Amino acid sequence: MKIIEDIVYSKVANEELVLDLFLPDEGAFDVFVYYHGGGLEKGSHKGAEKFANYLCEHGIAVASVKYRMYPTHAYPDFLVDAANAVKFVSDNIKNYGECKGIFVGGSSAGGYMSMMLCFDKRWYEGAGVDKKLIAGYVHDAGQPTAHFNVLKFSGVDPRRVIVDETAPLYHIGTDTEYPPMTFIVSDEDMQNRYEQTMLVLSTLKHFGHTEPKITHTVMHGKHCKYVGRIDEEDGLSAFGKLIEAFVTSVKE
């Protein structure tokens, strides 16, 4: 595995936005563009090595993205950054090898962001991304209603369940077709996260989007604990295995 750190993918005012690229040893690979969690106000793109090594060993590169966050920045800055990162990868990954397919996903806040890119076409349109280039999505424990920190920093009680244009759920059904996607959530996830994830799946089904293109996995334990977990039975990355299985299923 080759690691190239802090590649500048966008500049906003005097701020450089960067991503870390984890590359397999072979010259042809899929690439997974990943957004970290942290409630849109903390967390780091430096955590991807927890699962990137496994993915690289299975022919999947990882682009782990830094994005602007609260309280210094606000909605929709992080969504603009997320789309710009996909644009950068789609335009430049050929400089690092032969890209067989681009997948997009994230965990927790990153899962909210990947759902917004998937369901609200404005962000790709603004970045000049051809959404048909995206082979699939991994939505990991993201909030499909208005994100609690989008509410909090707007002066609204973050416990409220609001479906407005800042919510992925609001946009489901505005497109007739979606690429394959998989959802991950825990049986002991954040309060209301499991139920809201099931609502997303039900809403997609209501619009005719079902298996095998739309799948989900229920993990055991607390919110996103599997992202950094190494399975005791085989010593491999639990999250990496989920991503690799999804990518493989899309390619079949």
Sequence spans of domains, the chain: 2-251
Query: What is the pTM for the complete model shown?
Result: 0.97
Cα R_g (the chain), whole angstroms: 17
- 17: phi then psi, degrees, rounded to nearest 5: -100, 135
CB-based contacts of 4: which residues, under 8 Å, 6+ apart? 20, 21, 23, 96
- 13: phi then psi, degrees, rounded to nearest 5: 55, -120
DSSP state of 230: B
pLDDT in tens, 171-195: 999 999 999 999 999 999 999 999 9
Q: How far apart are CA 20 and CA 66, in angstroms?
A: 8
Which residues lie across from 104 on neighbouring strands? 33, 137
> What is the pLDDT at residue 68?
98
**CB atoms < 10 A from the CB of 152, how many?**
17
By the 10 Å C-beta count (0-12 exposed, 13-18 middle, 19+ buried), 44 is classed as exposed
For residue 232, pLDDT over 90 is answered with no
Secondary-structure class of domain 2-251 per CATH: alpha beta
Looking at the chain, the whole-number percentage of residues with pLDDT higher than 70 is 100
Average pLDDT value for the chain: 97
**Can you read off the two tokens belonging to residue 9?**
């993918």
